[in-house]
Amino acid sequence: MNAHPDRRSLLALTLLAPIAPLAQAHGPVPHGNRGPVIKEQKPWGIAAEPREADRTIEILMTDDMRFSPSHLDVRQGETLRLRAVNRGKVMHEIVIGTRQELEAHAEMMKKHPNMEHDEPYMAHVEPGLRGDIVWTFNRPGDFEFACLIPGHFEAGMRGTIRVTPRNT
């Protein structure tokens, strides 16, 4: 027996509805309201819970393809809430990583501009909105942050993070 076409459509909508929000990873993502934080150690640190933030740093993102401030000094072990505020008219994002990781990711974004991803070390921010990253910088070193939307990274939308060892 064949199902009525309306029933098939309803069934398809019912089955696909839970995954529809995943298709908008570069759309409006309320980063402050995510589910449990996935804590995976990265060379530049590990995700943290909002309540663990030692301080908040507001980073402005503008359509002149700049971050302000564009350099952060952090102590090893410090947990920051990086509050990305989009003052522009186009979407921007902030992604933390090593220079090599960010360059590779930027190249991938050029080939796949609608790539779906959402990690705790990134925030996609629509114009006029803000997004938070809460991150523990538990490894010393020099790291970076950037907007990896195609064209933005190449235009210089990057910043640096220096994490100094605890004992200095």
What pLDDT digit, counting tens, does each position of 105-145 carry?
A: 999 988 887 777 789 999 999 999 999 999 999 999 999 99
**25 occurs within a structural domain:** no
Percent of the chain with pLDDT over 70: 78
Give the chain's domain count.
Answer: 1
For CA atoms 133, 135, 137, 143, give the dihedral sign: negative
CATH number for 73: 2.60.40.420
Residue 151 belongs to domain spanning: 39-164
Q: What is the mean pLDDT of residues 26-47?
A: 70
Residue 88 lies in a domain: yes
Does any domain span residue 1?
Answer: no
pLDDT digits (tens, 9 = 90+) for 80-93: 999 999 999 999 99
Whether 19 maps to a domain, the answer reads no
Does residue 15 belong to any structural domain of this protein? no
Does the pTM exceed 0.85? Answer: no
Instruction: Report if residue 4 sits inside a domain.
Output: no
The answer to whether residue 17 is domain-embedded is no
Q: What is the pLDDT of residue 90?
A: 97
